[in-house]
Structure 1
Amino acid sequence: MTQTLSLSDYLSKDEIKAFTARSDVMGWLAIITAWSGVALIFWAMALASQGPLWVAIPGVVLGSILLAGRQLALSIIVHDAAHGTLFKTRALNYRLTDWLCARPLWNDLAKYRVYHLVHHTRTGTEDDPDLILRAGYPTTRASLTRKFLRDLSGIVGLKYILGRILMDAGVLKWTVTGEVVWLPRDKTGKFEHIKQFLKNSAPMVLSNLILFSVLALSGHGWLYLCWVIAHLTFFMLFMRIRSMAEHGDCERSLDMFKNTRSMRAGWLVRALVAPIGVNYHMEHHLLASCPYFRLKKLHNLLRARNAVPEAVSYGEVIKMMSRLNPQGQV
């Protein structure tokens, strides 16, 4: 039987300590950069909307695509905060990030943290809560195209929102994958579910109301609709690409050198599907306490020591995930 290697076989204790040092400054930088990007995109969309249709329509569409990329950045920031690596300060990780980054995306950092840490301990097994995200790969090019079109049509996004409503109402088990798990019915009745929904959804409603109010006061309240549409369409597409790149068609085992992969990402890919260093996903699983801004350095060091394979591009990942022929064969 081949012995499974661990990160300590390649890094010393002092190196691991250095890689896991956190920074409040870098945490603030991630949040400020993400929201500054959102503000800049909104400004550009408002400016484009004042021009002729041949400028306004492409401008709004392009802006919505870029907005989805910033929404994914906020989502990855939530992910890092759930690991306690975004800030050194506990309250900044779990309170501030929840309100500034999770709630505007209809997420709950505390629930996500409990859920996501199970993924890290059970990656690649039947107990992995994210297993549904890697299922079905590789597939055919036609099948992957249909998945992408369902994302862009808003079908997946609307199902996601419906699921969130039912989760907040205590009808479905909380998850981030869209998996439907009905909770046992009790005798409290529908009024208790309404009460739970109002309580659980209140932070999301408040944070989005603030965002809408800021846009409305600027004279461009219609931009909030672009925020919603971007989340229901392009964000879902980017999340799919990210998920299948990280674990799709990887070995079903607990070996983190084999159940996860890392990807190369140029500036455009980082803006859309790989923000905040999330493309170095194998390194993240190997050392989940490593902050986002040290993942690239960790990857380069592990590559130099022949510990991890060369990162692939997202284009190569899409080809790998759609390599089956119509008969379901490679």
Structure 2
Amino acid sequence: MSTPIKMKPLELFTQDEWTRLCKRSDLLGLGTIVHAWAIIIAAMAMFAVWPNPVTFVLAVMLIGARQLGLAILMHEAAHGGLATNHKLNDWVGQWLCAAPVGAHLRNYRDYHISHHKYAQSEKDPDLILSAPFPITRKSLLRKIVRDMTGQTFYKQRSNQFMNAMGIGIKKQKGRENRAQSAREAVIPFLISNALIAIVMTLAIGWWAYPVLWLLPLATWNQLVTRLRNIAEHACLDGSNHPMRVARTTRTNFLERLFIAPYWVAYHCEHHMFMHIPCYRLAEAHRILTEKGTAEDMEVKEGYWQVLTIASSKPAATAF
């Protein structure tokens, strides 16, 4: 497959529209980080003040979704969209977004640029996330169960920690680089989570960190991260056109609250024009829809429709 062609923005937007869409804002960029942590803190406080099964489930879902939100904002930082000052952008992207959820901004940026350059081609480093689809409903259900029971989290995190210690990495070219990359993610994760644990213990109690941070990270966060990956690139037509290598999913309020925060669902627009900051993607989608361009894009209505497509492979028939 050839490298995806590049879109020319002024073929779809006026100069004024394009200038407005590309404008970076420290207030909006840094404000999203404040918003994410504010919801996390509010959800924790809700359960701490009114502990019951309903507030517990709501807290886990809200916190898990905002942990995904932190990963999304790390992605925005990888594109330089959180702050106009590059050093500030990278600092907040690393320590307030990436490190708490076990990621590393610089390492992520390096391979993510390749993802944009080679999206849905054999050279795409993220192709492994979308290539298996469609799958059967039973297979999707098994994945959901693994996510919600912490199995996915345990496998990913244990592999990351073992790689950081050089355990289980085959003696081959790039072995040390792989171990170093893992260490660069693990050490900030441990530092940031130690600070989170101390603050939560002092503010709420000894149980708060494992119940209100690790549990959402190991369960709901894993599920919504999978849903995000499926929605963005699974079951596309294989075209190398930017309008067809990624999918936009139109979402309602509850989906944005519990599954897809911070405009992450506008992924087709992001691949078409990756320099538009995330807080302007909704406006870009509105303009493209009004001009009829969205009819040529990969757009679906809600995550249920996407999951229906992604799990449409017929089950094997026994004879």
How high is the TM-score relative to the length of structure 2? 0.89
Q: Deviations over 1:230-289 (max 9, x none)?
A: 111111110111111111001223211111110111111111221110111100111111
Structure 2 counterpart of 1:149: 145
Aligned residues: 307
Which of these residues, 168, 180, 186, is aligned with residue 201 of structure 1? 186
Secondary structure of residue in 2 paired with 1:161: helix
Contact 2:6–2:272 (8 Å) recurs in 1: no
Q: 1:140 to 1:196 in 2, by over 3 A?
A: closer
Structure 2 counterpart of 1:230: 216
Which of these residues, 30, 33, 46, is aligned with residue 32 of structure 2? 30
Which of these residues, 251, 267, 271, is aligned with residue 281 of structure 1? 267
Structure 1 counterpart of 2:172: 184
Structure 1 counterpart of 2:17: 15
Quote how far apart the aligned CAs of 1:168 are.
2.9
Structure 1 counterpart of 2:203: 218
Alpha-carbon distance between aligned partners in 1 of 2:287 and 2:173, rounded to the nearest angstrom = 52
Alpha-carbon distance between aligned partners in 2 of 1:32 and 1:132, rounded to the nearest angstrom = 33
Quote how far apart the aligned CAs of 1:206 are.
1.4
Q: After superposing the two structures, state which structure 1 stretch, 32-41 or 303-312, moved more.
A: 303-312
Unaligned segments of structure 2, at least 5 residues: none
Q: 1:59 to 1:290 in 2, by over 3 A?
A: same
Quote how far apart the aligned CAs of 1:32 are.
0.5
Q: 1:1-330 residue pairs with structure 2 within 5 A?
A: 6-8=7-9, 9-49=11-51, 55=52, 57-169=53-165, 182=170, 184=172, 201-226=186-211, 227-309=213-295, 310-327=299-316
Residue type of the alignment partner of 2:162: L
Alpha-carbon distance between aligned partners in 2 of 1:260 and 1:230, rounded to the nearest angstrom = 28
Alpha-carbon distance between aligned partners in 2 of 1:101 and 1:63, rounded to the nearest angstrom = 19
Quote how far apart the aligned CAs of 1:110 are.
0.6
Quote how far apart the aligned CAs of 1:182 are.
4.7
Quote how far apart the aligned CAs of 1:142 are.
1.4
| CA RMSD of superposed structures (Å) | 2.5
Contact 1:72–1:272 (8 Å) recurs in 2: no
Quote how far apart the aligned CAs of 1:82 are.
0.5
Q: 1:228 to 1:13 in 2, by over 3 A?
A: same
Residue type of the alignment partner of 1:83: H
Unaligned segments of structure 1, at least 5 residues: 50-54, 173-180
How high is the TM-score relative to the length of structure 1? 0.86
Secondary structure of residue in 2 paired with 1:263: strand
Residue type of the alignment partner of 1:225: P
Alpha-carbon distance between aligned partners in 2 of 1:219 and 1:144, rounded to the nearest angstrom = 37
Alpha-carbon distance between aligned partners in 2 of 1:239 and 1:111, rounded to the nearest angstrom = 19
Quote how far apart the aligned CAs of 1:18 are.
2.3
Percent identical residues: 31
